[in-house]
Amino acid sequence: MALYGLTIHELQAMLAGRHVSAVELTRAVLDRIAAVEDRVRAYITLDPEGALQQAAAADKKLGAGSGGPLCGIPFSIKDVLCTDGLRTTCGSRILENFVPPYDATAIVKLKQAGAVLLGKVSMDEFAMGSTSENCAFGPPHNPWNTAYICGGSSGGSAASVAADECIASLGTDTGGSIRQPASHCGVVGLKPTYGRVSRYGLVAFASSLDQAGPLTKDVTDCALVMNAISGHDPRDSTSVEREVPDFCRSLQDGLGGMKVGIPKEYFIEGLDPEVEKAVMGGIRHLREAGAEIVEVSLPHTDYCVAVYYLVAPAEASSNLARYDGVRYGLRDTSADTLLDMYRDSRSAGFGPEVKRRILIGTYALSSGYYDAYYKKASQVRTLITEDFKRAFAACDLLASPVTPTPAWKLAAKVDDPLSVYLSDILTISANLTGIPAISVPCGFSGAGLPIGLQLQAAHFNEEKLFRAAYNLEQRLDISRLRPANL
């Protein structure tokens, strides 16, 4: 197999043994990008010169035996994580020319582990969306069929991994934005526990929901990346001071003694039959691996979408107030007054979906409506959290679909935002509650599009997720499959 098609753990041994150099690997991935990027369109900013310089430095460390666990491995980075000296746009015109003077902590940790950063990949503007079609620079395309969405908001991350335009990627998840594109593109994607990975340098959408995490070619790679990026960060007040285990030790065969709960509210009318068939097939494999399958209930599931689309826009309204054309970002220079400059800069810089969410959030936080909307949503969020606590008292993990349907065609739902919002119903609860969740490929639709199975665990129980995900992956043996049409 070509170098760009290998996994991190396959390449680690080759790089350490000097059977291949980091420069050779990086050039192979850059050549792959040159060959397929015109169809996938995953990258917003590509930095080939910088990547080759990083690879040369990695080779020196490998030669000296001082390379980190990801030394020489080429990564793509979602364009919402700050990268020192490399443009960070958040998929928005308002930050089109913004170059951060510092690295996000997750990027610092990747660099400390020796990773090579290829560039920044496409996303829904400010991570607001489920298709990546809200990107101001054009949407990425699903590598399995480029007429289809690749999901969002970390669509470029998922597409770049599936198309072998990187070896692994870093994305973020605010309501399913790692897991949903991972499902649609047939890769592994993990949303860690809130507080497990630092949010310092992650450009904020909804601060109580955002979390950075990996998108990789298989579960082992996912564990390796989590080992590198996890840990307490004093610069992030929400970062939890908790010991980070070696997640690779969880990759053991067999699920004896583990209970997997099936939420009855997640298998209801409206679930695509092909998705249900693939997910139920995956659950049978979990049973065959030794897990006990039990039914559980999450009775407040019907309220999740409404709660999320009050909490997230409210926080977005507050966070995006900083984009005023004064300190950084786009500024309208033709305005006559300060108020005109604010208005015109934001009108020109923000896209329709961002404006829609700012308006929703500002309304929900406004005088006379706060108690009826944001406060009530926060109270129901607590009830949703209690549902999960009760469920995890009865089981170790929850298994479900990631999304109700496979990927749909590009532009099919651009005029129906509510329909797109509802597609997040199975993922947003993990963000509202702060629990970890992973998407693992479990099958394909009749049209040949990937389908993912979601596993959720209680707070800081990523080890259980990895154990179950690894067993599922080993029995299905489909994570190694890649699009044949590129």
Catalytic residues: 78, 153, 177
The per-residue DSSP string of 393-461 comes to: HH-SEEEEESSSS---BTTTTTT-HHHHHHTTTTTHHHHHHT--EEEEEEEE-TTS-EEEEEEEESTT-
* Cβ proximity of 154 and 178 under 8 Å: yes
Angle subtended by helix axes 219-229 and 8-16, to nearest 10: 70
CA distance 286 to 406: 22
> Could you tell me whether strands 292-296 and 74-78 are parallel, antiparallel, or unpaired per DSSP bridges?
unpaired
From the list 485, 477, 420, 417, the residue with the least C-alpha distance to 449 is: 485
SS3 154: coil
Give the β-pairing of 437-444 and 450-457: antiparallel
Residue 42: Cβ-neighbour burial (10 angstroms; 0-12, 13-18, 19+): buried
Measuring CA to CA, which residue among 427, 436, 67 is closest to residue 250?
Answer: 436
Residues 158, 209: Cα–Cα separation, whole Å: 20
Show Cβ contacts of residue 315 under 8 Å, excluding neighbours closer than 6 positions: 204, 205, 206, 207, 208, 209, 361
Nearest to 187 by CA among 458, 364, 407, 396: 407
DSSP secondary structure letter of residue 148: B
Residue 153: asked if its preceding bond is cis (omega within 30°), the reply is: yes
Give yes or no for a contact between 278 and 444, defined as CB atoms under 8 angstroms apart: yes
Nearest by Cα to 181 from 257, 124, 230: 124
Q: Are 88 and 103 in contact (CB under 8 A)?
A: no
* Residues 53, 57, 60: CA angle, nearest 5 degrees: 145
Instruction: Label the pairing between strands 259-263 and 397-401.
Output: parallel
The pair of three-digit structure tokens given for residue 65, joined into one six-digit string: 């035996």
